[in-house]
Amino acid sequence: MTLDRLNIGERAVVTAVGGEGILRRRLLDMGITPKTKLMVRKMAPLGDPIEIHIRGYELTLRKEDAAKITVEKIVEE
């Protein structure tokens, strides 16, 4: 599953960061690394951009960039 498919309030763990070159480096530099937990905070009315909570701060990503981040949804019991 990719980050752009999560709904507001859902939590996940990053399993892989895709993309190439500068885009991948930028995502990693922003703290989006494997095994990092995140939560989708907000989403624009048309779904782009997406705001996530990761490592104690809010980060806004374009849907196109979020589609390159593979996540595993955390199921809360």
User: What are 26-42's pLDDT values in tens digits?
Assistant: 989 988 999 999 999 99
Q: What is the pTM of this model?
A: 0.84
Q: Answer yes or no: is pLDDT of 11 > 90.
A: yes
**DSSP 3-state assignment of 69?**
strand
CA distances from 58 to 1, 37, 62, 70 (A): 21, 13, 14, 19
User: What are 51-74's pLDDT values in tens digits?
Assistant: 999 989 999 999 999 999 999 999
Give phi and psi for 13, each to the nearest 5. Answer: -120, 130
Which one, of 62, 56, 35, 47, lies nearest residue 8 by Cα? 47
Which one, of 18, 24, 6, lies nearest residue 68 by Cα? 18
What does the pLDDT average to over 19-30?
89
Q: What is the CATH number of domain 3-73?
A: 2.30.30.90
Q: Please tell me the distance from the alpha carbon of residue 63 to that of residue 3, in angstroms, as a whole number.
A: 8
